[in-house]
Amino acid sequence: MSDYPDPRVPMDPALLRGLTQRRLSRRDALKYAGVGAGSLGLAAFLSACGVKGTQSKASPTPSTFDFTKIYGNGTPAGTLNFANWEDYIDVNSKGNSPSLALFTKQTGIKVNYKTVINDNDPFLAKIIPVLQAGQDTGYDLIVITNGGSIERLIRLGYLTPLDHKSLPDWDANADPKVKNPNYDPGNKYTAVWQSGFTGIGYNSKVIKTPPTSFKDLLNPAYKGKVGMFGNNQDLPCPALNSMGFDIDKSTPDQWRQAAAAVTQAKDAGIIRSFYDQSYINALENGDTVITQAWSGDVFIASASKDFGGDGFPEMKFVFPQEGPIYWHDNMAIPLHAQHPVDAITYMNFVYKPDIAGMMADFIWYVTPVPAAKDYVLNTLKDPTVANSPLIFPTAEDLASAKQYKVFKSTQEEDDWNGVWQPVYNS
């Protein structure tokens, strides 16, 4: 790690992402202008503005699928347009990624690496109209989280099916825990980029007894100093889980029961705010002393500045006893991508243990390649990362981990949102 001076300047990552975001709206403007020009009269115009559905365009099932239609004879085009999140790949002191450089050296494929994804929903809102118009998004590979967003792309039929013949390293090295996930059975469309845990972060200077459960966040003793997540997975799933409900099989009655418990704490002033990625700043600034948290962020916050962290050793992460939530950011190839062979070649490349190790040693979330631990420990000689249960989780933590809720339909998602959004968006 010491080879790589930290590019994480003490600046809000969300801010950095915002600064580097690109806009994709010109196409929409042209599309809408075209609609306008073609219509006569206001009523006709209003009716003509319908947004087309996509169900007829759903991708065929990969089992009966002729992959040569997409991947041809498997010759890469030599270019890969890769859309990823900020701080989500290894970077050296010059700001370049050694693993990407190695990929280019080995395969001759040039990678245009763009950190344009700032949040799942706004990114989807940008690419969906483009995909709806049957056009290429400009990206061959995107990284999208499960728990609604990746499922939406799958449901809409906007992802290119993966030809597993091109993924031997995935087959050999991927953690069984990330294979055949509930949101993409058989990995038809996705392969995990990195994973992480939603658990509890706390300031050990203030809180002497470590919390053990999501229920500790509802403790009146921490009134006004509790942070929770304001999204429709990281808040509801731990709440349901802490009440002993099976997240995937839970009923609307159970949703309402769990939502009522959180609402009660909100109304009592225990919960300070429902945060996005800024929750970690709130914890570091002392605005909160206990908060829902993502494993990697707390590792970064607690690591010393020399090591590339934020230098708050008092920040601790706990896996709740009822089990943490294990979420996944997934690589996928959007429909109409220009360079699918290059994309799938890269997808396989990151499942080589040494490459996964190079990245894990920098990203500090959970790598999908357990064999990377040896590389980090023995080749990179970084025991701090290799022995951290936040980066290479223990078997017990993985066994107790739960997954995000998978929505069976848009209707179910709307119902779920109808229960939870009034809790965190009031």
Partner 1 sequence: MAAGLQQLGKPKTRLGKRLAPYLLVMPGGLWLLVFFLIPIFFMLSVSLQTGNLEEGFTMTWHFHRYVEVFQQYRPQFVRSFAFGTIATAITLVVAYPLAYWIAFHGGRHKTTFLFLLLLPFFVSFVIRTLAWQFILSDDGILFGTLKSWHILPQSFHVLATRTAVISGIAYNFLPFMALPLYVSLERIDRRVVEAASDLYANKKDVFLRVIFPLSIPGVFPAVGDYVNASILGGTNTTMIGNIIQLEFLQNFHYPVAAALSFILMGVLLIGIFIYARVLGARSIEEYV
Site for partner 1, rule CB under 8 A = 12, 15, 18, 32-33, 35-36, 42, 45-55, 121-122, 125, 128, 152, 155-156, 224, 232, 266, 271-274, 276, 278, 281-282, 285-287, 410, 414, 417, 421, 425-426
Q: How far apart are CA 292 and CA 284, in angstroms?
A: 13
**Smallest distance from the beta carbon of 157 to partner 1, in angstroms?**
9
Please say which residue, 60 or 224, places its beta carbon nearer to partner 1: 224
Q: What's the sign of the alpha-carbon dihedral 119, 299, 10, 277?
A: positive
Instruction: Supply the minimum distance, in Å, between the C-beta of residue 41 and partner 1.
Output: 11
The residue (of 165 and 223) whose beta carbon lies closer to partner 1 is 223
Residue among 181, 231, 193, 233 nearest 83 (CA):
193
Which tokens go with 309? 């962290």
C-alpha–C-alpha distance, residues 331 and 337, integer Å: 13
Q: Which is nearer to partner 1, 18 or 108 (CB)?
A: 18
In contact, 269 and 223? CB cutoff 8 Å: yes
Q: Report the alpha-carbon distance of residue 417 to residue 231 in Å, rounded.
A: 9
Non-local (6+) Cβ contacts of 345 within 8 A are: 76, 107, 109, 166
For residue 325, give Cα distances in angstroms to 188, 200, 363: 23, 11, 19
Quick check: helix, strand or coil at residue 192? Answer: strand
Q: Considering beta carbons, is residue 102 or 282 the nearer one to partner 1?
A: 282
CA–chain centroid gap for 351, Å, is 18
Q: Give the three-class secondary structure for 327.
A: strand
- Of 104 and 277, the one with the shorter C-beta distance to partner 1 is 277
- Least Å from the CB of residue 113 to partner 1: 25
103 or 274: CB nearest partner 1? 274
Strands 271-275 and 226-229: parallel
Q: How far apart are CA 52 and CA 45, in angstroms?
A: 15
User: Measured from the CB atom, is 5 or 286 closer to partner 1?
Assistant: 286
Contact 265, 226 (CB under 8 A): yes
CB closer to partner 1, 120 vs 345: 120
Q: What is the smallest separation between the CB atom of 277 and partner 1, expressed in angstroms? A: 12
CB of 223 to partner 1, least distance (A): 9
CB of 122 to partner 1, least distance (A): 5
SS3 label, residue 386 = helix
The distance of closest approach from Cβ of residue 153 to partner 1 in the complex, given in angstroms and rounded to an integer, is 11
- In the complex, the smallest distance separating the C-beta of residue 422 from partner 1, rounded to whole angstroms, is 9
